[in-house]
Amino acid sequence: MNVLTIKDESPTGTILNEIQIAIATEHCTLKDLISARVSKEVEVYNNKVPEYYNGLVQPSDSEKTLNGFKLKSRKKIDAEQQVYTALEAFLQNAFFVLVDDEQITELDQEIFVNKESNISFMKLTPLVGG
């Protein structure tokens, strides 16, 4: 079992968040990596159900705030739905993923990861105006 540290970074390289996940093998696809990351975030949230959800993508029935996503009512989040939302967000270029400084562009792309791997997710902010 590999324990990986995933970092959320700003475009300037500032680390915004870190999460540790476990992957059973050193070879996985980007889809597997995103799914494991989002499932872990949901598990952490559902175990405590705090006021804010700090995850990769916004859950349905929530609003974005400075502290994270605030659900309209404190309830557990559906992990399967959240994974689906994250995979769709990747396909819509809402974020990109770097593994050892190489951008991974396809969900089915196989990647090699171990505890030494540098894994970064960078959320893209849509530009306002035209």
pLDDT score of 105 more than 80: yes
Q: How far apart are CA 86 and CA 74, in angstroms?
A: 21
Percentage of the chain exceeding pLDDT 90: 69
pLDDT score of 126 more than 80: no
For residue range 1-30, list pLDDT tens digits in order. 889 999 999 888 889 899 999 998 889 999
Q: Residue 93: what pLDDT?
A: 93
Q: Average of pLDDT values for 52-61?
A: 90
Percentage of the chain exceeding pLDDT 70: 95
* Average of per-residue pLDDT values in the chain: 91
Domain ranges of the chain: 2-123
Beta strands per DSSP E along 1-130: 2-9, 15-23, 27-29, 52-53, 62-65, 68-71, 95-99, 102-104, 110-112, 119-123
Q: Residue 127: what pLDDT?
A: 54
Q: Average of pLDDT values for 95-106?
A: 96
> Widest CA span of the chain, in angstroms?
47
Q: Residue 111: what pLDDT?
A: 95
Q: What is the CATH number of domain 2-123?
A: 3.10.20
Q: Residue 67: what pLDDT?
A: 82
